[in-house]
Amino acid sequence: MPIRRLPAGLDGPDPLADALRDAQYIASEGLATAAFLALTLQKPLLLEGSPGVGKTEAAKAIASILGRELVRLQCYEGIDSAAAMYEWNFPRQMLAIRQAGDDHIHLYGDEFLIARPVLLALQNPRERVLLIDEIDRADHEFEAFLLEFLSDFTLSIPERGTMRAPEPPVVVLTSNRTRELHEALRRRCVYHWIDYPDPVLEAQIVMMRASIVAEDTARKVVAAVGQLREEPLAKPPGVAETVEWAEAATLLHGQGVAWPRAFARAIGVALKDQDDLAYMAPRIDQMLEKVTA
Ligand SMILES: Nc1ncnc2c1ncn2[C@@H]1O[C@H](COP(=O)(O)OP(=O)(O)O)[C@@H](O)[C@H]1O
Ligand SMILES: [Mg+2]
């Protein structure tokens, strides 16, 4: 199996986790291990988990510690190869034909090729990290298409032949798991399920990401968010919401609102769904009393 040599300082799950932390990302041991293995074994890293658990941010942090540019392909329903791989610049080709008159022109030269994220990563794998974000939003056909690319890191352009990456690019895929991904795709990847961070890690994330929050407030907000995630909500708060809730409540407290009232009044940054807010309204005070006691 071909092995990728990682830069000094990233050569193991622990050093990798330290580097990620320096890049403002707190990785669990499981995630740091999966990332280390995927990078070293030159396989794509597949991160699955609920919205807001830090999947996209993990890819950004990995690109950052490798000193590479992140090329992001945001998937959506109906996404096709023109958006993901490449496109011919049709208006420019037309213009060139008109200007050429009787001269011969090569219509499939580089100047007419618009590279999209997959081709960009293939053209320059040493300097880029390819993020295929929220692949569960794309349809099965597109997933099969990607699988082909991920199998041998080649791309066939009918007018140009097969393009091959000089080395396997670093690829991170994410899924919110709105549907199951193909077995074959999973098999290609190193897989890691990202759960909500445990309370100690999440409090560290709040302290790292929020500007003005006291440690005690961070702990309480993490406990409150943990409770909210146990409720039958349509949109349970992600990590970003935890950070914002801590900041917003701290701001209100600075305006003279007492604890834990400040949390309750700032609830709109943690829950962003009317039904969820209505459901929690009669319960929030009691819940906060409990977790902030
Ligand atoms: N482990 C983490 N370390 C630092 N910040 C995190 C972490 N997980 C989540 N965050 C914060 O939460 C936000 C949302 O995470 P994001 O990666 O967008 O979630 P997802 O892609 O899983 O929906 C990030 O912008 C970041 O501020
Ligand atoms: Mg995301």
Summarised one tens digit per residue, pLDDT across range 20-40 is: 999 999 999 999 999 999 999
73: tokens are 């392909």
Tell me the pLDDT tens digit for each residue of 54-106. 999 999 999 999 999 999 999 999 999 999 999 999 999 999 999 988 888 88
Distance of CA 120 to the CA centre of its chain: 18
Residues lining ligand 1, Cβ inside 6 A? 25-26, 49, 51-57, 197, 205, 209, 238-240
Q: How far is the CA of 107 from the centre of ligand 2 (A)?
A: 38
Could you give the residue ranges of the DSSP H alpha helices within 42-135? 55-66, 81-84, 90-100, 117-123
Among 228, 248, 247, which Cα is nearest to 238's? 228
Which among 221, 51, 227, 218 has a CA at the least distance from the CA of 136?
A: 51
Backbone φ, ψ for residue 75 (5° rounding) = -85, 155
Q: Which amino acid is at 248?
A: A
Q: Quick one: residue 271, left, alpha or beta (phi over 0 = left, psi -120 to 50 = alpha)?
A: beta
The protein residue with its alpha carbon nearest to ligand 1, atom 15, reads 54
| Structure tokens that stand for 136 in this block | 């569960």
Q: What is the pLDDT of residues 123-165, one digit of tens each?
A: 999 999 999 999 999 999 999 989 999 999 999 999 999 999 9
What's the DSSP call for residue 257?
P
Q: Could you identify the atom of ligand 1 that is nearest to the CA of residue 134?
A: 21
Tokens of 53: 């658990």
Closest CA to 249 of 264, 262, 268, 267: 262
Residue pLDDT, tens place only, 235-253: 999 999 999 999 999 999 9
Strands 69-74 and 128-133: parallel
* Over residues 165-171, mean pLDDT: 96
